[in-house]
Amino acid sequence: MANGKDGLSEKYNSLKAHLDERSLRLCAAADARSIGRGGISAVARATKMSRTTIHAGLKELDDQVTVKKIRRAGAGRKPLAEREIQGF
């Protein structure tokens, strides 16, 4: 299992810079599920994520919610037209 763990560690070190926390959690949960028995512990050790986080990812996978916004409504930049009106 040592090779599998090292492979998972490499995989998640590469992905960390490119995925948001939700995507990373879902990937970890999918890997844990594909490993089977002991998968949650193996992925938790390889990714340094908590087992609770991986369980949350498994629940999200089971819920099959397809689109979930990462930012809350109103977050981000204001539209250019709105900024010009306010004089910013």
- For residue range 24-44, what is the model confidence (pLDDT) as tens digits? 999 999 999 999 999 999 999
Could you give the C-alpha distances from 8 to 28, 30, 47, 83, in angstroms and in order? Answer: 9, 12, 7, 45
Residue 8 belongs to some domain of the structure? yes
Q: For residue range 9-20, what is the model confidence (pLDDT) as tens digits?
A: 888 888 888 988
Residue 58 belongs to some domain of the structure? yes
Residue 35 belongs to some domain of the structure? yes
pTM listed for this prediction = 0.65
Task: Identify the H or E element spanning 20.
Answer: none
The rounded Cα 16 to chain-centroid distance in angstroms is: 9
Residue 10 belongs to some domain of the structure? yes
Domain containing 17: what range? 2-63
Dihedral sign for Cα 65, 70, 74, 80, please: negative
Task: Supply φ then ψ for residue 64, to 5 degrees.
Answer: 55, 40
Residue 44 belongs to some domain of the structure? yes
Residue 72 belongs to some domain of the structure? no
Number of domains the chain is built from = 1
